[in-house]
Amino acid sequence: MTKHARRFPEFYITAPQPCPYLPNRRERKLFTHLVPGKSSAIIDNLLTNGFRRSQNIAYIPYCENCSACVSVRIVVDQFERKRTNKRIWKRNHDLYVERVSAIPTAEQYALFSDYVGTRHADGGMADMSALDYSMMVRDSVIDTFLSEYRQRPEDAAPDADPQDWPLVAVALCDRLSDGLSLVYSFFDPELSWRSLGNFIILEHIEQARREGLPYVYLGYWIKDSPKMAYKTRFQPQEHLTARGWVLYEPEDGEE
């Protein structure tokens, strides 16, 4: 095998299995392994053009007779918080965020377990061990980091160390050439009133703005899946189509 061939991705297709988002559908994925030695430019090109990363695998839906999954990215420099998003931002004014290296901790895993056990008890991540979680965080050949969100106690001293405050949310994120890609996030399931999942997206939009990055990638959106409805709250956004990335025109009622 030539050096060029070793650096070029080899693609595989998964066997059909039940779709987790749409009833009576079967899903397949096209995927490739992201390993050291693969061209960083090729990996970046995959992840900025519809592929998603899970550990060291990049995948994209490859379903027969179905194209419901649409890649979505927020246009950062045109984004403005409106109505619902303004309320969510204000609601979480007492949170402290810190970007940390992609290194798992027991504190993170405890929060992750509570989140998955409450929100996704029947999903494929429900039985993830501490080692599984560690691999999810660590196993990356690109620039990956964590955002930790901690709640400032009402009686916190001015010189208090934020690392002593309760951890309420975590986001695993990739830094790409033109944006931030949210890989996975989790949060305290008892704090539903905070809308932490939405706040994490809002906060990463501001981080991308500070870094001069034009996009925040949200993964896939499915129009007919209620689980995905929140993604259209962040406008303007672009959707990946057969014509490339195009500006999405919101329907009535979408911000």
Tell me the mean pLDDT in the region 91-103. 97
Domains of the chain by residue range: 3-68, 75-215
DSSP of 85-113: HHHHHHHTTTEEEEEEES---HHHHHHHH
pLDDT in tens, 163-210: 999 999 999 999 999 999 999 999 999 999 999 999 999 999 999 999
Residue 136: count other Cβ atoms within 10 Å of its Cβ. 19
pLDDT at 124 over 80: no
Q: Which of 63, 80, 66, 75 is nearest to 27 (CA)?
A: 63
State the pLDDT confidence band at 30, using cuts at 50, 70 and 90: very high
101 alpha-carbon distance from chain centroid: 16
Residue of higher predicted confidence among 97 and 20: 97
Task: Collapse the DSSP code of 159 into the 3-class scheme (helix H, G, I; strand E, B; otherwise coil) and give the result.
Answer: coil
Average pLDDT over residues 116-123: 80
In this predicted model, which residue has the larger pLDDT, 254 or 21?
Answer: 21
pLDDT given for residue 1 in this prediction: 46
Mean pLDDT score of the chain? 92
Mean pLDDT of 107-119: 94
The secondary structure element, H or E, covering residue 169 is strand 167-175
Q: Are 26 and 14 in contact (CB under 8 A)?
A: no
**C-alpha R_g of the chain:** 19
Distance from C-alpha of 161 to C-alpha of 250, rounded to nearest angstrom: 43
**For residue 29, how many C-alpha atoms fall within 13 Å in the half-sphere facing its CB?**
17
Residue with tokens 């999903």: 123
The mean-pLDDT minimum among 172-176, 228-232, 248-252 falls in 248-252
Question: Which DSSP string do the residues of 181-203 spell out, in sequence order?
Answer: EEEEEEE-GGGGGG-HHHHHHHH
- Residue 231 pLDDT more than 60? yes
Percent of the chain with pLDDT over 70: 95
Q: What is the pLDDT of residues 132-167, one digit of tens each?
A: 999 999 999 999 999 999 999 988 888 889 999 999
pLDDT band at 125 (very low <50, low <70, confident <90, very high): confident
Q: Which CATH number does 75-215 carry?
A: 3.40.630
Q: Give 11's strand partners.
A: 32
The per-residue pLDDT for 156 is 87
Tell me, rounded to whole angstroms, the distance of Cα 193 from its chain centroid: 21
> Which tokens is 65 given?
């007779």
- CB-based contact 188:156 (threshold 8 Å): no
Tokens of 83: 């109505």
**Secondary structure (DSSP) of 28-69:** -EEEEE--TTS-HHHHHHHHTTT-EEETTEEEEE--TT----
pTM over 0.85: yes
Distances (CA, A) of 3 to 8, 36, 46, 199: 9, 13, 20, 44
pLDDT at 39: 86
Secondary element (H or E) of residue 168: strand 167-175
